[in-house]
Amino acid sequence: MDRTPIRIFVDADACPVKSEIYRVAERHGTKVFVVSNSVMAIPAAPWIERAIVPGTPDAADDWIVERAARGDIVVTADIPLAARGVKAGAEVIGPTGRVFTEDSIGMTLATRNLMDDLRSSGQITGGPKPFAPRDRSAFLSALDQAIVRLKRAGFGAQPA
């Protein structure tokens, strides 16, 4: 049976879990696209591909959304990109392990926009909490679960 391969698209410029993505992807035989605005070190592996996009706003987001589809995974902390990924049918996971779904993305986007407005007006000066070891653990679990769920749904590596 031919299976559509699972691909992982990484919004890589500020992604703190790239090494975790590489480990999980290798274990599952999943292709990874590391998308960034600048050159960054990636492991030399045939299943990891680098995509360097222009430094214009949303260039990485656009590159990812033009390619991501049902059966793919998008890893991003960028809420507008997460919303676009969900709309494209992809599984979307934040670096803290937060899974974005059709049911949750609307409220998440609204909250993000409200907080952005409050920050720009000076009413809130703090940003997100620092990335913690438990976030890394939650991410590993969420990524592994997403790949297993997709494989059960008929996605996976192409037969040799």
To the nearest 10 degrees (0 to 180), the angle between helices 102-120 and 79-87 is 160
Q: Where are the domains of the chain?
A: 7-152
Dihedral over Cα of 139, 129, 100, 74: its sign: negative
Q: How far apart are CA 152 and CA 76, in angstroms?
A: 24
The pTM of this model reads 0.86
Q: How far apart are CA 22 and CA 100, in angstroms?
A: 21
Per the listing, tokens 């920050």 go with 119
Which pLDDT does position 14 carry in this prediction?
A: 86
Name, in order, each residue with C-beta under 8 angstroms of 46's C-beta and a sequence gap of 6 or more: none
CA-wise closest residue to 78 among 145, 128, 124: 128
Mean per-residue pLDDT over the chain, rounded: 88
CA-wise closest residue to 92 among 102, 115, 37: 102
Q: Over the stretch 123-146, which tens digit does the pLDDT of each residue have?
A: 666 666 788 999 999 999 999 999
Which pLDDT does position 111 carry in this prediction?
A: 64
Fold of 7-152: Rossmann fold (3.40.50)
Which pLDDT does position 1 carry in this prediction?
A: 42
Residue 98 pLDDT greater than 60, yes or no: yes
Q: How far apart are CA 85 and CA 96, in angstroms?
A: 17
Of 58-67, 77-86, 100-109, 114-123, which range is least confident? Answer: 114-123
Tell me the pLDDT band of 121, cut-offs 50, 70 and 90: confident
